[in-house]
């Protein structure tokens, strides 16, 4: 069993327990949220922004502890002041040390799109994502049958949430892309070996249809890589570890984004 299968099996159990503890009845058209979502897609396409989705990640299966006592308030504000386009908040507790409260804190202190980064397998988690202040959810192609993924995507959209569809290869992309998905993320991390290879983003870029916003995820540690990925058509860059391994992640993000802007300016001057 690879790590994703293990996480997903655990997630089904966790959601079943939560449903029992805090039941929510889903009756058709009975859910209505007054607060509109902020569009992750729109923010990623804004030319004045870096395209970076800066992640808060306390630990991970591949790295173990990264920054377990991070201040979500200070880091999320700092990320946005540094020029991030959006935030990604890992709310999975067992494998990533996150919690829903991390997202509510980030929501309280920031006006920006927030990706609720979790392993979504059930409508219950989508209602939860919206209730705690998320603007977008992640759906992982490798974790869901394509018909089920489509149902969950449609449900998320009905609540105003955007969907980031994560793929690891062309087959997943071809099978899972549907009309409810506007953002596709290529995960550069091989979940069997944990190795990251941004070559995968370059390879898959050509297969992602025009009009879909492209995000490169994981293993991004060099500002120059973002410039090259932008050239290949990517609008978004999901970055966790590169920032979180610094004791002040927001400081690492500021230095990274400053370098990115310098490289972008240099490229414009040369062109």
Ligand X SMILES: O=C(O)c1ccccc1NCC(=O)[C@H](O)[C@H](O)COP(=O)(O)O
Least distance (Å) between residue 88 CB and ligand X: 7
**Residue 117 bears catalytic tag:** yes
Helix segments in 31-122, DSSP class H: 40-45, 72-82, 100-109
Rounded Cα–Cα distance for residues 52 and 40 (Å): 11
Tokens 């079943």 found at:
16
**Residue 217 bears catalytic tag:** yes
The verdict on 118 binding ligand X (CB under 6 A) reads: no
**Residue 55 bears catalytic tag:** yes
Burial class (CB in 10 A: 0-12, 13-18, 19+), 217: buried
**60, 67, 76, 187: which is the annotated catalytic residue?**
187
Least distance (Å) between residue 144 CB and ligand X: 14
Residues in the chain: 271
Query: Contact 241/58 with Cβ under 8 angstroms?
Result: no
> Which residue, 133 or 240, is less far from ligand X as judged by CB?
240
Rounded Cα–Cα distance for residues 214 and 197 (Å): 17
Eight-class DSSP state of 256? H
Tokens 């490289």 found at:
263
The verdict on 102 binding ligand X (CB under 6 A) reads: no
Least distance (Å) between residue 108 CB and ligand X: 23
**Residue 57 bears catalytic tag:** yes
Q: x/- site string to ligand X, residues 167 to 206, per CB under 6 A?
A: --------------------x-x-x--x-x----------
Q: x/- site string to ligand X, residues 38 to 67, per CB under 6 A?
A: -----------------x-x--xxx-----
Least distance (Å) between residue 181 CB and ligand X: 17
**Number of residues forming the site for ligand X (CB under 6 A):** 21
The verdict on 97 binding ligand X (CB under 6 A) reads: no
Question: Which long-range contacts link 45-51 to residues 24+ away (Cβ below 8 Å)?
Answer: 45/213, 45/235, 46/85, 49/83, 49/84, 49/85, 50/83, 50/84, 50/85, 50/226, 50/237, 50/257, 50/260, 50/261, 51/85, 51/226, 51/230, 51/234, 51/235, 51/236, 51/237
> Which residue, 133 or 219, is less far from ligand X as judged by CB?
219
The verdict on 160 binding ligand X (CB under 6 A) reads: no
Interface stretch with ligand X, choices 43-51, 70-78, 101-109, 216-224 (CB under 6 A) = 216-224
The verdict on 116 binding ligand X (CB under 6 A) reads: no
* Interface contacts to ligand X, rule CB under 6 A: 3-4, 55, 57, 60-62, 187, 189, 191, 194, 196, 217-220, 238-242
Q: Mind telling me the catalytic residues?
A: 55, 57, 117, 166, 187, 217-218
């Amino acid at each position: 069993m690879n790590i994703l299968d293990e996480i997903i099996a655990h997630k089904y159990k966790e959601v079943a327990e939560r449903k029992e503890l805090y039941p929510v009845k889903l009756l058709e058209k009975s859910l209505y949220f007054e607060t509109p979502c902020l569009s992750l897609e729109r923010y990623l396409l804004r030319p004045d922004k870096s395209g970076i989705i800066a992640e808060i990640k306390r630990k991970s299966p591949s790295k173990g502890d990264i920054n377990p006592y991070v201040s979500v308030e200070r880091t999320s504000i700092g990320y946005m002041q540094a020029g991030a386009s959006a935030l990604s908040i890992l709310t999975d507790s067992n494998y990533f040390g996150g919690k829903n409260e991390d997202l509510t804190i980030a929501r309280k202190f920031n006006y920006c799109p927030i990706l609720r980064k979790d392993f979504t397998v059930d409508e219950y988690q989508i209602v939860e994502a919206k209730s705690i202040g998320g603007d977008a959810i992640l759906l992982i192609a490798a974790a869901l049958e394509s018909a089920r993924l489509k149902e969950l995507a449609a449900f998320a959209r009905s609540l105003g949430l955007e969907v980031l569809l994560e793929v690891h290869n062309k087959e997943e992309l071809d099978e899972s892309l549907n009309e409810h998905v506007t953002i596709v993320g290529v995960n550069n991390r091989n979940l069997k070996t944990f190795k990251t290879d941004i070559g995968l983003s370059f390879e898959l870029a050509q297969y992602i249809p025009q009009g879909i916003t492209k995000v490169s995820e994981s293993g991004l540690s060099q500002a120059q890589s973002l410039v090259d990925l932008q050239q290949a058509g990517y609008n978004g860059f999901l970055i966790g570890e590169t920032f979180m391994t610094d004791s002040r992640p927001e400081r690492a993000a500021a230095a990274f984004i400053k370098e990115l802007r310098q490289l972008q300016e240099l490229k414009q001057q040369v062109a």
